[in-house]
Every structure is written in C-alpha cells, then in structure tokens.
Amino acid sequence: VQLQASGGGLVQAGDSLRLSCAPSGGALSAYTWAWFRRAPGKEREFVAAFRWNGERTYYADSVKGRFTISRDNAKNTVYLQMSSLKPEDSAVYHCAADLEDSGDYYYNGPRYDYWGQGTQVTVSS
C-alpha cells in the first residue's frame, strides 16, 4: 500500500488549494491521518492531523483558521483544504498514516507508518 498525494500547484497569495491523499494498492485503515510539509532548507513540519478517536483534528499554529483536514470515508481519501495561502506555506506537502492511535503525539512524524510521495505547493507573493 502506498499513499498518493495530489492537488499541489502554483498559486498566488490569498488563493486556496485542496490537497488529496488516498492509498493505492489496497485499503488502509489508519487511526490517525496527518499532513506534514517541508520547505527548502527547513526541517519537516507538522501541519494538521485527524484522529478517529472522537474525530479530533489538530493544527499547527501557523495554519490554524486557514487549513482544514477532513476525511471522506466513501472515497477513502483525506483532504487538506488550504485557504488564504501565504508565501511561507510554500513547501512539499506529505500525507501520512499511523496505524495506531497517536494520542497526543500526532505531531511526531517518526511514529507514522505510511507516507505519501509529496506534492509541491508554491505560493507567490
């Protein structure tokens, strides 16, 4: 099973994008789904997560109020709706899946079992 991320592109500041992440090669029943990003020269950064336990969502302070993570069970797809994009949001975005409940460690990248290949988001000023 692999995760396929898509939806990135080149947009202007203030625009919106919706990223999608879906498993290919089989079904994947994950407890926690997340998006991370990595900008050139920077470390990987947590962006947002969705936990099945209570269907809780979590966001990095830098994207809170602008990004929304959601899941469509029928399509087996996780989305990241990004609005009011800023140049500092430019990065490669990766989706990730944790087969176990991450608890309060949803932001911890190494605990995730599956990773998507990444989709580039570039926001021009």
In sequence order, the 6+-apart residues with CB closer than 8 A to the CB of 96 are: 3, 33, 34, 35, 36, 109, 112, 114, 115, 116
Quick one: pLDDT at residue 54? 64
Q: Can you say whether residue 69 is alpha, beta or left, with left for phi > 0 and alpha for psi between -120 and 50 degrees?
A: beta
pLDDT tens per residue, range 13-64:
999 999 999 988 877 888 899 999 999 999 999 999 998 866 899 999 999 9
Question: How do beta strands 9-12 and 119-124 pair?
Answer: parallel
Count, in order, helices (H) and strands (E) of the chain: 0, 11
Quick one: pLDDT at residue 26? 77
